[in-house]
Amino acid sequence: MSQMPDFSVLAATCPSRTSLARIANKWTAMVVSVLGNNGLMRFGDLRTRLDGISGKVLTETLRDLERDGLVTRHVHAEIPPRVEYELTPLGFTLHAPLLALCTWAEEHITEVLASRERYDVRNG
């Protein structure tokens, strides 16, 4: 039978690590979660939903996701312009895992905050 090359994110020069760096990222998790929940979304709506993100960072995040094949960009020839984004099938395979991270953060923040307080009291 044919042999798949062995990729490991643990190897410093393995290309898979560059992909991990993109998906294991705060904004990526939020963008993929929101796009996965809502389907097609305009740039501006995405920006509003991801409270606090700057236009520059959202643009860069979306462009990187598009480059990796996780998001599709739809430009409409209208004035004013309308640009919409949606997950590709590949991107959608990340929706559940990344949404899980967002949900984890929300569900466990009370424990995390308590741990931080204990840690900060013990130390400086």
Q: Are 94 and 70 in contact (CB under 8 A)?
A: yes
Near a second copy in 7-66, by CB under 8 A: 7-17, 19-21, 23-26, 28-30, 34, 49-52, 66
Q: Which helix (H) or strand (E) holds 71?
A: strand 71-76
- CA gap 45, 30 in Å, rounded: 13
Between 68 and 84, name the residue whose CB sits nearer to a second copy.
68
Q: Are 62 and 42 in contact (CB under 8 A)?
A: no
The amino acid occupying position 86 is E
81 binds, among a second copy, DNA, none (CB under 5 to 8 A by kind): DNA
Between 43 and 92, name the residue whose CB sits nearer to DNA.
43
Sites of contact with a second copy (CB under 8 A) = 7-17, 19-21, 23-26, 28-30, 34, 49-52, 66-69, 90, 93-94, 97-98, 100-102, 104-109, 111-116, 119-120
